[in-house]
Amino acid sequence: MTNTIPAPTDVGALANRINFHTRDQHNKIDGQMSVKFAFAMKHGFIYRQGILAFFYIFQAIEQEIDRILAQAHTEEEVQTRNILKQFWVDDFRRSDKILQDLELLYAKECPSRTQLLEFVQHNVLPAEQQGFVDYVHQGIQTSPTTVLAYCHVLYLALFAGGRVMRSTVYRSTGLFPRFPDLKPDEVVRRGTNFFTFSSEGVLAENKLRKDYKRGYELATRQGLTEDQKLQIIDVSNAIFEWNTRVISELGEINRKDLMGKLSFKLVTFAIDEWKHTEKLSREQKSLVLAMGVMIQILAMWWVLRKFF
């Protein structure tokens, strides 16, 4: 039995098998996320919707992990608990970290943590988001070892891409609310906990990732039957499908919302333009406003068609 992270060519490693069988799905959602994330970087209200959606998904996973670790009853739950104990530590938890980001992103609507908790508890999820959350709970409760699909696909995805996304967010300070008593870099630091696995820097994160991958491999290589491994691979594919559906749903919701509020956005745009054209004549102001409105219409239409 190896005691190191398996090589990419090691076909016996469950992680490698998941990667191989989800390659097409991964490429599909990777392209989709690149486009959607780039668009979200320009619109804070869309970005925070995505962060909120992932809160519910990671919360569901971690609720099931906590339940299994604390109250394993069936034979498969005990088996899963024994595997989880070999690599899972609290540093991996994301729901608490995302909640810290939401405190900042929803500071205007929910000034206190109590108000935020009440909001996330009573918030009605869109259909696909709720479907994914239900799928997580029902699937893991039916077949506990399938939680290991989420442990590889979602958490390692954050390890791999979170640092890049964090860097991108750091350059997009306009995503976050403004706080008169905080500098922009401090605001961004407080709003990127989702992508941060250690406050001690890159070396600490690298070690955490290495320990996670090694522990996952050692625990799953011999601790699962072949049928269980195949089921985990199937769920891994489903995770990619659910992510695609959740992201597409957010895009459709915002497309409809933006189109429904287009006239309001044009009015506010026109007012802003008027404020900055004090030295122009009335005819020139009218021309500038008309051109601005037309540009806004064309830009909005192009964006909606391209990204949604």
pTM for this structure? 0.79
Beta carbons within 8 Å of 14's beta carbon, 6+ residues apart: 148, 152, 216, 217, 220, 221, 224, 229, 232
Residues 24 and 236: beta-carbon distance below 8 Å: no
Torsion of CA 32, 36, 37, 40, to 10 degrees: -170
Do 190 and 296 lie in one domain? The reply is: no
CA distance 116 to 52: 11
pLDDT bucket at 168, cuts 50 / 70 / 90:
confident
Look at residues 168, 152, 156 and name the one whose alpha carbon lies nearest to residue 208: 156
**Together in a domain, 204 and 142:** yes
When pLDDT is averaged across residues 256-279 and rounded to a whole number, the result is 50
d(CA 81, CA 138): 17
pLDDT above 90: residue 88: yes
Query: Does residue 216 have a pLDDT over 60?
Result: yes
Q: What is the pLDDT of residues 172-215, one digit of tens each?
A: 656 777 787 888 788 888 888 998 888 888 899 989 999 999 99
For the chain, what is the mean pLDDT?
80
Cα separation, 71 vs 77, whole angstroms: 9
Of 79-88, 118-127, 184-193, 265-274, the least confident: 265-274
Q: 168: helix, coil or strand?
A: helix
In a domain, 4, yes or no: no
What gap in Å lies between CA 293 and CA 179, rounded to an integer?
31
Q: What is the pLDDT of residue 295?
A: 40
Average pLDDT over residues 149-172: 79
Q: How many domains does the chain have?
A: 2
Specify if 132 maps to a domain: yes
Q: Is the dihedral of CA 253, 256, 259, 263 positive or negative?
A: negative
Which domain range does residue 291 map to? Answer: 263-307
- The predicted pLDDT at position 219 comes to 94
Mean pLDDT of 63-87: 97
Q: Indicate if the alpha-carbon torsion angle 79, 84, 85, 90 is positive or negative.
A: negative
Q: Largest alpha-carbon pair distance within the chain? A: 81
- Confidence band, pLDDT 50/70/90 cuts, at residue 4: low
Question: Is the pLDDT confidence value at 294 over 80?
Answer: no
Q: Let me know: does 68 contact 145? Beta carbons within 8 Å.
A: no
Considering the domain architecture, whether residues 29 and 112 belong to the same structural domain is answered as yes
Q: What is the pLDDT of residue 137?
A: 98
Residues 140, 288, single domain; the answer is no
Q: Which of 115, 111, 106, 129 is nearest to 44 (CA)?
A: 106
Are 142 and 285 members of one domain? no
**Pair (293, 157) in one structural domain:** no
Instruction: Let me know: does 194 contact 97? Beta carbons within 8 Å.
Output: yes
Is 88 within 8 Å of 208 (Cβ atoms)?
A: no
Q: Is 152 annotated as a binding residue?
A: no
Averaged over 77-98, what is the pLDDT? Answer: 96
Please check whether residue 6 lies inside any domain of the structure. no
Is residue 185 assigned to a domain? yes
Q: Which of 155-164, 175-184, 237-246, 270-279 is predicted least confidently?
A: 270-279
- Judged against a pLDDT cut of 60, whether residue 153 lies above it is answered with yes
**pLDDT at residue number 156:** 85
Task: Encode pLDDT of 9-63 as tens digits.
Answer: 666 689 889 988 888 766 666 655 555 555 555 567 778 898 999 999 999 999 9
> What is each CA distance from 198 to 151, 214, 229, 250, in whole angstroms?
18, 18, 30, 29
Q: Which positions ≥6 away from 299 have C-beta within 8 Å? A: none
Where does 72-201 have alpha helices with state H? 75-84, 95-105, 113-122, 127-142, 147-170, 184-190
Residue 9 lies in a domain: no
Helices (H), 224-307: 226-260, 262-275, 282-307
The CATH number covering residue 48 comes to 1.20.910.10
Nearest to 258, CA basis, from 300, 200, 216: 300
Q: 126-136: per-residue pLDDT in tens?
A: 999 999 999 99
